[in-house]
Structures are given as C-alpha cells and as structure tokens.
C-alpha cells in the first residue's frame, strides 16, 4: 500500500495559513512529542462533526510504541519535514492508494 502525500504537502502558504488559524496545535504537538511520548503515556484523539457526532479513540503507549515514535522523531529531525508529525497523528488525511 503506497502513501500519496497531501496535495498541499509542502505548500508554505497553506501551512502558514493553517498555523495562523490554529496557533496552539503545532505548539501542542511539539510539547507532546518532546515530553509525552514515553511508555505508559496515553494518547487520545477525538473529533466532533458540526452535527454533533463524536469520534474518539485512545491508546496507551507500550515500550515498542515509544521506541517507534522516537525513531519517527529522529527521522523528522534528519529530514526536517514540517508536517511529519501532523501527518502521523492525522493519517486519516493521508490518501492511501
């Protein structure tokens, strides 16, 4: 299964607009990546539609999970890709082909 990048992946204007509209989100991800991705941490993600339908999931990180996330963090640092963790946490936005 190949992953097709976002159609706007790398678009600095759209990324800048998103960051301006949601200034706390990148700060949250930065703090979570630096401080909370360790064994025993719980990651919870929820979404609510305008109609009120709620979706929620969570997971408790195991040692192998934390090791994998640290490897992704190192890859991000090496590749310097601005949207790497955004794409990881919101993989539903990534189109699989």
Task: Kindly state whether residue 12 falls inside one of the protein's structural domains.
Answer: yes
DSSP sequence for 29-83: HHHHHHHT-STT-EEEEEEE-TT--EEEEEEEPPHHHHHHHHHHHHHHHHHT-TT
Let me know if residue 69 belongs to a domain: yes
* pLDDT for res 87: 60
Taking the C-alpha atoms of residue 96 and residue 6, their distance in angstroms, rounded to an integer, is: 10
32 neighbors 41 (Cβ within 8 angstroms): no
Domain that includes residue 45, residue range: 3-92
pLDDT digits (tens, 9 = 90+) for 4-28: 455 545 567 887 888 889 889 888 8
Element (H, E) at 43: strand 42-48
Tell me the per-residue pLDDT of 40-54, one tens digit each, with 9 for 90 and over.
999 898 999 999 999
97 lies in some domain: no
Give the confidence band of 96 by pLDDT, cuts at 50, 70, 90: very low
Q: In the predicted model, is pLDDT for residue 80 greater than 90? A: no
Count: domains in the chain = 1
- pLDDT value of residue 29: 81
User: How many whole angstroms separate alpha carbon 22 and alpha carbon 17?
Assistant: 9
């Amino acid at each position: 299964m190949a992953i097709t990048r976002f159609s706007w992946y790398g678009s600095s204007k759209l990324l800048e607009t998103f960051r301006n509209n949601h200034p706390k989100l990148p700060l949250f991800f930065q703090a979570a990546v630096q401080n909370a991705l360790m064994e025993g941490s719980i990651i919870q993600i929820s979404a609510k539609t305008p109609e009120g339908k709620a979706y929620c999931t969570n997971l408790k990180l195991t040692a192998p999970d934390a090791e994998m996330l640290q490897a992704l963090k190192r890859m991000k640092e090496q590749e310097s890709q601005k949207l790497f963790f955004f794409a990881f946490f919101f993989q539903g936005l990534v189109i699989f082909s």
